[in-house]
Chains A and B, each alone.
Chain A
Amino acid sequence: MSIEIRAISKRFGSFVALHDVTLDIPSGELVALLGPSGCGKTTLLRIIAGMESPDSGHILFAGEEATHVHARERKVGFVFQHYALFRHMSVFENVAFGLRVKPRKLRPAEAEIRRRVSELLKLVQLDWLAERYPSQLSGGQRQRIALARALAVEPRVLLLDEPFGALDTRVRKELRRWLRRLHDEMHISSVFVTHDQEEALEVADRVVVMNQGRVEQIGSPDDVYSHPASPFVYQFLGNVNVFHSRVHGAWADIGREQAQDLPADEATAFVRPHDIEIEHRPAPGGLAATVQQVHTVGPLVRVELAYASELIEVELTRERARSLALREGQQVWFRPRELRVFAVPQSGLEEGGSGI
């Protein structure tokens, strides 16, 4: 089922959680709402679920007005960051809950409930835990039970609020691949909230990047990573070096085609650390800098260059680093393979060095 979000705004006291958010979630897609904490992504998810009501704007489910439909009538499956399993019920009863609370006329018979629950428990591969209580399960198991419980009522939409946020790295990676495969099997429209860009890029069909209550960019994972629409998206998705044109005249020249409409002062260039080339000789468009530090981080070699008063972060492959044989204190020339120029005043963004 498709979800349309039309000009939703929400305030909590003087804090603006959502500002005029418009968004389409096509049927059957797995969409990630990505952003830093406090950007409004969880509020948006809760508004879709009906647990929060917007101050203005509309929600449409499959083209039908759903803004004032009560949470219990929305047929939405919600998975909480901290699982929210019913602690006094066994795993089996947790999953059966949605079936047991149905109005008498619609409630399946006991045998049917048993069959459906054990099917769902098999689906999440935890049928061997049916008689346990939530407190006896690990975090990953709890989250899979929470998912089975949400699926039991055959929701039209599945909403997941930081579903892997409370798990350790190994379990998180396994679980998100598993979620992706589950989604491919079921084709149920799903929206999940995350602050982890890697998670969003790996799992989602479509990523919605949010900041300060607004949507910054919507696109495929490749799209938002390769073609960030704003300085914020550039900085939030991976490391980036930021250059001001006034200081770095030569680089602004490189980006001139992009920046030709802008006054020279306001142009700011963004370059990813892995998009910078280091040479031993001066090259056209290259800037001179001194090698400050060289670290090997897993498969990459991270080089810090001192350029004027700023630190530039460069990532090289091991082979490239070996052939360059960089030493600390050495003079080198660096130039970007790819960069992006924005005209936005850079207040609030980290300058020089790297963003998040």
Chain B
Amino acid sequence: MIGGPPPRRANAEPRWLRHLLIGTGLGFLALFLAIPLIAVFSEALAAGWGRYLEALVDPDAQSAIRLTLIIAISVLPMNILFGIAAAWAIARFDFPGKNLLVTLIDLPFAVSPVVVGLVFLLIFGAQGIFGPWLAANDIKVVFALPGMIIVTMFITAPFVARELIPLMQAQGREEEEAALSLGASGWQMFRRVTLPNIRWGLLYGVILANARAMGEFGAVSVVSGHIRGQTNTLPLHVEILYNEYNAIGAFASASVLALLAVVTLIAKTAVEWRIRRETRVLSESPAQERPVASASRDMGASAGSLRSNPSGEWP
């Protein structure tokens, strides 16, 4: 064998460039993702587990965790409903204003969350459009739970729809048409054919929407009014504690959010893996083809037997 450096593929980048790119990527990851994550937990645990748990069982912290969960649980069903409806409309029908709808679905991503909060303050606030009517009927929207749910709904609206639109467009209508021609009702078609086909995409969208709903700060901050123990979500609670120089409390609460992020990432990866596996199965090698002709002599017999049974009569 001839010595020298191992042969390099003709289309490969030079070794130094590869190392530089990989190094930059990993370095960035460590600096901006891993170190902060470690810092959150080490700060939270700086005074030991006792103080950490104490910060978490604090009534205000408990209330913030509860409120965050309530908001997420209220927002997600609406999100799923809107996401499926919008994706269905866009993927299955042509209607005037379709392009506008596609564009508008992304609006919450494009607008700064603080602006979103202010907009809803203008609509539902005391001086807002519905303000006087709401006050007259003694309904509290802003600086209360309903307002926080509404802005979170707005912020997270695109996640499910954006996952489903390309998926449903790629899958087409044929399976649904097949279901209808086999006698399925609209609901049976949706539950037995459409939903199973989009379930992983739907779950993926829900995981992302959930992470965002729990982590949202700007918009919720504007409409919450920061009433401690009443309208503080976890992110708001973190900010208040930090401003009060309660580092351990702030970081303990932040660690709950960080933990949520890690769980989200793991769930997201698992679902992605599942989606990839399902699409890979589609391209897997088919079963061995048996020639039809060789077996077709039996066909007459089986067709005959099918006809001869009373319930299997062909009109």
Contact = CB atoms under 8 A, between A and B. Distances in A.
Interface of A: 1, 49-51, 70-78, 80, 82, 84-88, 97-98, 101-102, 108, 112, 116, 119-120, 122-123, 125, 129, 132-133, 135-141, 144, 146, 149-150, 152-154, 156, 171, 174-175, 177-178, 181-182, 185-188
- Residue among A74, A119, A187 with max Cβ neighbours from chain B (10 Å): A119
B24 interface: no
Interface stretch (B33-41, B189-197, B242-250): B189-197
Given A125-B296, A154-B313, A101 B192 contact: yes
B312 A116 contact: yes
A14 B193 CA distance: 33
B167 to A, nearest CB: 13
Contact of A122 (B196, B281, B302): B302
Nearest to B298: A125
A17 B19 CA distance: 59
Contacts of B307: 185-186
Nearest to B295: A125
B289 A154 contact: no
A86 B193 CA distance: 7
Nearest to B309: A119
Contacts, number: 145
A82 B299 CA distance: 24
Contact of A141 (B286, B304, B313): B286
Contacts of B196: 86, 88
Given A78-B181, A97-B192, A119-B302, A84 B292 contact: no
A122 B309 CA distance: 15
A332 B134 CA distance: 99
A82 B173 CA distance: 12
Nearest to A134: B282
B174 interface: yes
Contact of B282 (A87, A129, A138, A171): A87
B174 A140 contact: no
A86 B303 contact: no
B299 A137 contact: no
A146 B177 CA distance: 13
B139 interface: no
Nearest to B195: A88
A156 B175 CA distance: 21
Contacts of B193: 86
B290 A125 contact: yes
A117 to B, nearest CB: 12
A353 to B, nearest CB: 37
